[in-house]
């Protein structure tokens, strides 16, 4: 193999075993020998080697799983209880599975699918116990849908990114069984009106769900973006309720109990309720209200005057996005954004608006209207309607201030 003067070959001959290749070319990779091969080799490359003319040395051989370029480092932002999707680093509308947000009330359980069962009982003709293998024998359905935590709101600091403000929403292509298929299998008794879903994590998450949702579009999903659902998302399977607050899509599902009334669990009485007016509390607020957010330009982006493609996502738990408007003058005037089709039901939908920025300080905003006619409210409208400054189901218009120096900050 020809090596340019002063350069060190990175990967040597083609006909070497993986072992000798790891040993010969990449010392650090020996430690990583159990890691995916390509990743191990790449991780072992020094910065100088990445700068070698790639046409002068053979590349890394194919591996067992793909890798992300070490120049791209999108990461979730974890706290003790959740981990947020880096919306500002994503393209299109599918969240890479390893960047799907997480909200765990007592950690991610380790579940062996061979030991895991789902019980369906209560007001049914024929109670049923199902394993993952059993579920996979039923007719399957695949759909693209967002999942959002109803606690997905933060504000108060100009240096918050879309991830910080709104990173508890993600979108996947989900595959599983319609709950209606399983309802037919067990035979629902006429008195049944609700069902309880219970998880097998240490939080034993339980929520009551109206039976009608079970008959319409509820699913039990075991796959996400073409592979088995990830442990963080509920492996081996979870309930998935399109458009409903994320909390009800119980992960690591182990039990469904049909009943004539709701169970009034902790998560639907003490938690996941929100103040409305006059000291009243609203509960069983299932639908995710329509929301949009500009993900570029947004903090921490730095921009230059001239042409800027404003980009973002919009979604509604009640159906399809009808339109998205963008304002480049702090909400005084609005223009229609372009929507990236296909527009799917209850799905993150991309929008863009090409804009020429003159370099003067201004504020950009986006506002979605869904197919029911619901218009995304301002923060002031929400506070006036609810009499509170936050809580669950808070979906205000987000504004980004473009400063003259090109720094983009959250309007607080
Ligand atoms: N069993 C169980 N299911 C659960 C939770 C949990 O802690 N345990 N968290 C809920 C909450 S509050 C949300 S927002 C979603 C988050 O799903 P994700 O972690 O896959 O993004 O799962 C819901 N289902
Ligand atoms: Mo949540």
Parallel, antiparallel, or unpaired: how do β-strands 238-240 and 194-199 relate? unpaired
- Say if ligand 1 is within 6 A of residue 205 CB: yes
Same domain, 268 and 296: no
Helix (H) or strand (E) holding 322: strand 321-327
Whether the upstream peptide bond of residue 297 has omega within 30° of 0, thus cis, is yes
What is the domain range of residue 209? 77-272
Nearest in space to 145 (alpha carbons), one of 176, 166, 174: 174
Measure 81 CA to ligand 2 centroid, in angstroms. Answer: 10
Same domain, 141 and 254: yes
- Say if ligand 1 is within 6 A of residue 201 CB: yes
What is the largest distance, in Å, between two alpha-carbon atoms of the chain? 83
Same domain, 109 and 253: yes
Same domain, 114 and 223: yes
Query: Mutation test of ligand 1: which of 249, 252, 253, 274 has the most ligand atoms closer than 8 Å to its C-beta?
Result: 249
What is the pLDDT, as a whole number, of residue 42? 64
Examine residue 63 and state whether it is found in any structural domain, yes or no: no
Measure 406 CA to ligand 2 centroid, in angstroms. Answer: 35
What angle, rounded to 10 degrees, do the helices at 37-44 and 18-25 form? 10
Measure 399 CA to ligand 1 centroid, in angstroms. Answer: 29
Same domain, 184 and 91: yes
- Say if ligand 1 is within 6 A of residue 198 CB: no
Same domain, 109 and 164: yes
Same domain, 31 and 88: no
- Which ligand 1 atom sits nearest the alpha carbon of residue 104? 7
Measure 201 CA to ligand 1 centroid, in angstroms. Answer: 10
Measure 231 CA to ligand 2 centroid, in angstroms. Answer: 17
What is the pLDDT, as a whole number, of residue 388? 82
Instruction: DSSP for 19-87, please give it.
Output: HHHHHHH-HHHHHTTTS-HHHHHHHH--HHHHTS-TTSS--PPP-SS----TT-----EE-SSEEE--G
Same domain, 215 and 304: no
- Say if ligand 1 is within 6 A of residue 154 CB: no
**How far apart, in whole angstroms, are the C-alpha atoms of residue 87 and residue 103?**
16
Query: Mutation test of ligand 1: which of 98, 221, 244, 251 has the most ligand atoms closer than 8 Å to its C-beta?
Result: 251
Q: How many domains does the structure of the chain reveal?
A: 3
What is the pLDDT, as a whole number, of residue 41? 61
Same domain, 265 and 309: no
Examine residue 72 and state whether it is found in any structural domain, yes or no: no
What is the pLDDT, as a whole number, of residue 187? 98
Same domain, 247 and 340: no
- Say if ligand 1 is within 6 A of residue 147 CB: yes
Measure 410 CA to ligand 2 centroid, in angstroms. Answer: 24
- Which ligand 1 atom sits nearest the alpha carbon of residue 82? 19
Could you say which residues of the chain have pLDDT below 50?
1-35
**How far apart, in whole angstroms, are the C-alpha atoms of residue 367 and residue 397?**
6
What is the pLDDT, as a whole number, of residue 20? 39
- Say if ligand 1 is within 6 A of residue 203 CB: yes
**How far apart, in whole angstroms, are the C-alpha atoms of residue 38 and residue 51?**
18
Examine residue 68 and state whether it is found in any structural domain, yes or no: no
Within 10 angstroms of residue 300's Cβ, the number of other Cβ atoms is: 13
Query: 239, 272, 305 — which closes off a domain?
Result: 272
What is the pLDDT, as a whole number, of residue 400? 98
What is the pLDDT, as a whole number, of residue 57? 87
- Say if ligand 1 is within 6 A of residue 285 CB: no
pLDDT digits (tens, 9 = 90+) for 66-83: 999 989 999 999 999 999
Examine residue 2 and state whether it is found in any structural domain, yes or no: no
Q: Which residue's CA is the closest to the ligand 1 atom numbered 22?
A: 247
Same domain, 51 and 81: no
What is the pLDDT, as a whole number, of residue 3? 39
Examine residue 64 and state whether it is found in any structural domain, yes or no: no
The residue written with tokens 């967002």 in the block is: 146
What is the pLDDT, as a whole number, of residue 2? 42
Same domain, 117 and 256: yes
Nearest in space to 85 (alpha carbons), one of 173, 152, 158, 150: 152
pLDDT digits (tens, 9 = 90+) for 385-397: 988 887 899 999 9
- Say if ligand 1 is within 6 A of residue 42 CB: no
Examine residue 380 and state whether it is found in any structural domain, yes or no: yes
What is the pLDDT, as a whole number, of residue 37? 57
Examine residue 181 and state whether it is found in any structural domain, yes or no: yes
Examine residue 280 and state whether it is found in any structural domain, yes or no: no
Helix (H) or strand (E) holding 296: strand 291-296
């Amino acid at each position: 193999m020809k090596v340019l003067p002063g350069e060190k070959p990175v990967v040597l001959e083609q006909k070497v075993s993986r072992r000798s290749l790891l040993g010969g070319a990449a010392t650090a990779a020996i430690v990583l020998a159990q890691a995916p091969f390509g990743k191990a080799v790449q991780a072992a490359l020094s910065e100088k080697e990445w700068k070698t003319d790639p046409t002068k040395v053979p590349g890394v051989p194919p591996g067992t799983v793909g890798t992300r370029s070490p120049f791209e480092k999108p990461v979730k932002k974890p706290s003790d209880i959740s981990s947020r999707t880096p919306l500002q680093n994503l393209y299109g509308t599918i969240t890479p599975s390893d960047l799907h947000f997480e909200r765990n009330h007592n950690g991610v359980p380790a579940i062996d699918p061979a030991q895991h069962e789902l019980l369906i009982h209560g007001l049914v003709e024929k109670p049923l116990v199902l394993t993952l293998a059993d579920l996979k024998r039923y007719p399957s359905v695949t759909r693209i849908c967002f999942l959002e935590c109803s606690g997905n709101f933060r504000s108060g600091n100009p240096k918050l990114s879309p991830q910080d403000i709104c990173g508890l929403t993600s979108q996947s292509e989900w595959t599983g069984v319609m709950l209606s298929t399983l309802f037919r299998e067990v035979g629902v008794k006429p008195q049944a009106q609700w069902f309880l879903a219970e998880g097998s994590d240490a939080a034993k998450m339980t929520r009551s769900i109206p039976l009608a949702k079970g008959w319409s579009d509820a699913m039990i999903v075991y796959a996400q973006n073409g592979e088995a659902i990830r442990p963080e998302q509920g492996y081996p399977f979870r309930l998935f309720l399109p458009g409903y607050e994320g909390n009800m899509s119980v992960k690591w599902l182990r039990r469904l109990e049909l009943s004539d009334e709701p169970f009034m669990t902790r998560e639907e009485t003490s938690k996941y309720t929100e103040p409305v007016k006059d000291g009243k509390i609203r509960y069983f607020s299932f639908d995710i209200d329509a929301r949009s957010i500009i993900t570029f330009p947004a903090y921490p982006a730095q921009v230059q005057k001239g042409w800027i493609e404003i980009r973002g996502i919009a979604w509604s738990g009640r159906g399809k996005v009808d339109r998205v408007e963008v304002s480049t003058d702090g909400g005084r005037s609005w223009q229609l954004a372009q929507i990236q089709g296909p527009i799917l039901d209850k799905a993150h939908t991309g929008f863009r608006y090409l804009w020429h920025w003159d370099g003067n300080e201004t504020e950009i905003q986006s506002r979605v209207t869904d197919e029911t006619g619901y218009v995304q409210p301002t923060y002031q409208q929400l506070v006036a309607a609810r009499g509170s400054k936050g809580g669950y189901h808070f979906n205000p218009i987000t504004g980004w201030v473009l400063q003259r120096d090109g720094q983009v900050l959250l309007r607080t």
